Structure 1
Amino acid sequence: MTPEPTPPPAGPSRPGPGPGATAREPVLSVEDLHVDFRLDSTVVHAVRGVSWQVAAGETLAVVGESGSGKTASALSVLRLNPEPPCVYAGGRILFAGEDLLSCGEKHLGRIRGGSVSMVFQDPMTSLDPLQRVGTQVAEVLRHHRGASRAEAREAAVAALDEVGVPDAERRYRQYPHELSGGLRQRVMIAAALVGRPKVLIADEPTTALDVTVQRQILDLLVTLQARHGMAVVLITHDLGVVAETADRVVVMNRGEVVETGGVLDVFEHPEDPYTRALLAATPRLERTA
């Protein structure tokens, strides 16, 4: 008999409710989502019947290897997959009682970056290299809150300061290439949070950052979530990050959800063979004789 894998160290993990939906009222629900990419000679069924929910103040982790469909499903929330070749072939994404897959583009534009924000996985390419970083944070308030130029600038500086950007007044005037990877990621987080969203989707927010900066970014997200009470959807392949930051976890494989539940439940008693394989593949530091 193959022994059960030892779960990653849990750290300050917060056990969530048992398998299934969150015990609290969800602020965002994905229901039976199907996403296809229709290419010249084939159709790729990237997301197949995916469902999950997240409540205010809760962190839901969506995990799986590259190509499992976790990013495609996350981008679908704000319809950011390129259309074409992407086709939303079925399901609903409910936010504030509305199906985001069927609402008009103008209304969806008011939700993007306002009520629902996203931190993308590569801070090196996600910022406009031709605009000062402060301007990119301020434009969120100009677009979503109708703030004046002076009001948006003041709030953007405050947002940069809140996410730990040193000397925020000076950094406001700099361009992305003048900042380190860690500072660029903090700018991305500031831009995502300055509009006080109800939901933050963080897609591999520590990609390409060294381990020290990764720790700082994750701690920052936890602190800001507690401060503002927002729901967080964390897309990652790092089970150690999930153990330390998430309440519940959704495990995806080949475009489908294969297991879901509270983090401790899933890590200590994995039911699906794919989940057990992911846990067994997690590197560990162990003493040898």
Structure 2
Amino acid sequence: MTSERATTDPHPADKRPLLEIDHLSVDFRLESSVVHAVQDVSLHVHAGETLAVVGESGSGKSATALSVLRLNPSPPCVYTGGEIRFDGRDLLTLSEKELGRVRGRDIAMVFQDPMTCLDPLQRVGAQVAEVLRLHTGISRAEARKAALAALDEVGIPDPEVRYRQYPHELSGGLRQRVMIATALVTRPRVVIADEPTTALDVTVQRQILDLLVSLQDKHDMAVVLITHDLAVVAETADRVAVMNKGRVVETGEVLDVFDRPADAYTRRLLAATPRLEAA
């Protein structure tokens, strides 16, 4: 059973969340077994808000995040129950063509490892521009101008030079900034960041998280942050959902959950985190 906090919701009761996951269940049907990866999960996030989803490896947090845009591999993935509503529409019922209009335009993802997402044979600037042209149909010249502006906005130095480089020519931190530029160039309303700083050193992690927060404030985006790092949650999120074995076991305002965890699993997770300081 989920431990839901009775804290004051900062959003008016009549204001619908931008993204709602409602009683979602997801199975992975393998040859010899069925893995119940997500079980009856309900989450929501409003515009301008950051919801962190935390849990250890295998808790179901990434499977939940990938379900929003139906990015889990199918087969073996089967969505067995629930709804995922964006602006009131159930994304699980959309055709691939309809969902393609949402992916990357209204809802974007920032993944953990840019090298698995960026095309190694294409210049990074062209990849940012390509996303914009796909969703808006603007000219190559206009897309190039917008892509350069996006690279500059995410703090990439010498964007004209970087535009022409290939992914392997950039550092890990710069590649992640390119990923963020690619995600935000269409001005999405929701960004899902799946472990966006795990592969980076501590200093670069701080820079990337600060960048996400500043861009969220600038564009009033909803952010769903998938992470196992509770220190990151304390510094960046408004609310937190704790997942264990495919279920949400506790959710609420970050400081409330961290100061007074109601679920035994949350308490164990916090106890295993050294020197956690809530900002």
Normalised to the residue count of structure 1, the TM-score between the two structures is 0.91
Q: Displacement of 1:230 after TM fit?
A: 0.5
Distance 2:198 2:153 in 1: 22
**Residues 38-187 of structure 1 mapped to structure 2, 5 A cutoff:** 38-187=29-178
Distance 1:243 1:18 in 2: 17
1:283 and 2:277 equivalent? no
Q: Displacement of 1:25 after TM fit?
A: 2.8
Q: Give yes or no for contact 1:63–1:238 (8 Å, CA) kept in 2.
A: yes
Q: Displacement of 1:133 after TM fit?
A: 0.4
Letter paired with 1:155: A
1:18 maps to which residue?
7
Q: Displacement of 1:124 after TM fit?
A: 2.6
Provide closer, same or farther for how the CA distance between residues 263 and 285 of structure 1 changes in structure 2, counting only shifts above 3 A.
Answer: closer
Q: Counterpart of 1:206 in 2: which secondary structure?
A: coil
Letter paired with 1:280: A
Letter paired with 1:106: K
Q: Displacement of 1:126 after TM fit?
A: 1.7
Q: Counterpart of 1:26 in 2: which secondary structure?
A: coil
What runs of 5+ residues in structure 1 fail to find an aligned partner? 1-15
Letter paired with 1:176: P
Distance 2:249 2:52 in 1: 14
Question: For 1:98-128, what per-residue CA distance to the aligned partner results, in whole angstroms no more than 9, with x for missing partners?
Answer: 1000111001001000000000011232211
Distance 1:162 1:100 in 2: 30
1:256 and 2:247 equivalent? yes
Distance 2:225 2:8 in 1: 18
Provide closer, same or farther for how the CA distance between residues 209 and 115 of structure 1 changes in structure 2, counting only shifts above 3 A.
Answer: same
Letter paired with 1:232: V
Distance 1:81 1:224 in 2: 27
Question: For 1:67-90, what per-residue CA distance to the aligned partner results, in whole angstroms no more than 9, with x for missing partners?
Answer: 000000000000000110000001
Q: Give yes or no for contact 1:19–1:260 (8 Å, CA) kept in 2.
A: no
Distance 1:89 1:114 in 2: 26
Q: Displacement of 1:285 after TM fit?
A: 8.6
What runs of 5+ residues in structure 2 fail to find an aligned partner? none
Q: Displacement of 1:20 after TM fit?
A: 8.1
Q: Counterpart of 1:35 in 2: which secondary structure?
A: strand
Q: Displacement of 1:208 after TM fit?
A: 1.0
Provide closer, same or farther for how the CA distance between residues 191 and 222 of structure 1 changes in structure 2, counting only shifts above 3 A.
Answer: same
1:245 and 2:236 equivalent? yes
Distance 2:118 2:79 in 1: 27
Question: For 1:41-63, what per-residue CA distance to the aligned partner results, in whole angstroms no more than 9, with x for missing partners?
Answer: 11000000000000000000000
Aligned residues: CA RMSD? 1.7
Q: Counterpart of 1:186 in 2: which secondary structure?
A: helix
Q: Give yes or no for contact 1:67–1:254 (8 Å, CA) kept in 2.
A: yes
Letter paired with 1:18: T
Provide closer, same or farther for how the CA distance between residues 29 and 251 of structure 1 changes in structure 2, counting only shifts above 3 A.
Answer: same
Normalised to the residue count of structure 2, the TM-score between the two structures is 0.94
Distance 1:284 1:56 in 2: 31
Q: Give yes or no for contact 2:172–2:200 (8 Å, CA) kept in 1.
A: yes
Q: Give yes or no for contact 1:65–1:237 (8 Å, CA) kept in 2.
A: yes
Letter paired with 1:234: L
Question: For 1:15-37, what per-residue CA distance to the aligned partner results, in whole angstroms no more than 9, with x for missing partners?
Answer: x9828896553000000000000
1:9 maps to which residue?
none
Letter paired with 2:237: A
Q: Displacement of 1:193 after TM fit?
A: 0.2
Q: Counterpart of 2:93 in 1: which secondary structure?
A: coil
Letter paired with 1:260: T
Distance 2:73 2:229 in 1: 26
Q: Counterpart of 2:36 in 1: which secondary structure?
A: strand
Count of equivalent residues: 271
